Homo-oligomer: A and B are copies of this chain.
Amino acid sequence: MFIYLPRERWPVPEHGRELTTTATSLRIVDAIDRLEGARMSEIATELGLANSTVHAHLTTLRNHELVVKEGNEFHLGIKFFHLGEQARHRKPEYEIVRRHAHELSNRLNEEVAFAITEHGRSVIIFDENNDPAKEGFQVGRYFHMHNSASGKAMLAEFSRDRVEGVLDRWGLPRETENTIQSAEELYDELERTRERGYSLNQQEALEGLMAVGMAITTPDGSVLGSLDVSGPPYRLSEEQIVPELREAVTQIEREIASRYGPGDRDQ
């Protein structure tokens, strides 16, 4: 059974000493994110804090440019975007993946996304598609790993323990009627994924959207992230997609290995 802490939308594990002041500031940031901009008193009631308290936090956040005030509404500052781009380009491997993802997208004429995982969820950090006028609307969104192709591809590479950790923290929230419901079902699915060499998302996260995914591993054996090709079921055929995707992943892993071979990294 999964227990979601009362006042917080998602569980925050208490590892070591937690500084309550910083934690409160960050809960305020989360609230602004969730509410897509909010007034001070709105935040105060949302989090059960005194107005004066929220005021102090907001001025601090504002001084450091994380929050901007527009009229009386507070919004996330572009500094988040600045810091986010740092995170997105942190590893040079990501750029290699992006290049290949772009080519693959051209070849297949389908959308190709690159996702990475942190803290048991995954986030698409690059989304390449043939129509440059349209931006992947899922970029930057958090996904649960059990109901996305990318997520399952990565879970399939994790140790049993690590998968259990993810489940303990996030559970198996249901998105569509195809969403996997139980741990056993998930373990079976991951086993099948390992056998066939790719993961499938059959409208488990979004009605009308299916995807094929493969994890990308580095020479040291760790998972860098995962590529997936997604589209409407009538257009996507595994037979067409899988070989091309396999080829792309092979090339990516080869290029990464040749540039940042084993032994160069810690662990």
The interface of chain A, by Cβ under 8 A from chain B, is 12-19, 21-23, 25-26, 29-30, 33, 36-37, 55-57, 59-66, 68, 70-73, 75-88, 90, 98-99, 102, 116, 118-119, 123, 125, 132-133, 135, 139-142, 266-267
Contacts and interface: CB of A to CB of B under 8 A. Distances in A.
A56 B19 contact: yes
B22 A59 contact: no
Nearest to A77: B118
A66 B14 CA distance: 15
Given A78-B116, A80-B84, A102 B133 contact: yes
Nearest to A63: B12
Contact of A65 (B55, B77, B116, B118): B118
Nearest to A85: B140
A139 B85 contact: yes
Contacts of A22: 21-22, 25, 57, 60-61
A15 B116 CA distance: 38
Nearest to A98: B135
Given A19-B25, A70-B267, 7 more contacts: A15-B63, A29-B83, A65-B118, A70-B266, A77-B118, A79-B118, A81-B123
B59 A26 contact: no
A173 B226 CA distance: 42
A140 B63 contact: no
A17 B86 CA distance: 29
Contacts of A57: 19, 22
Given A81-B84, A83-B33, A266-B73, A63 B123 contact: no
Nearest to A123: B78
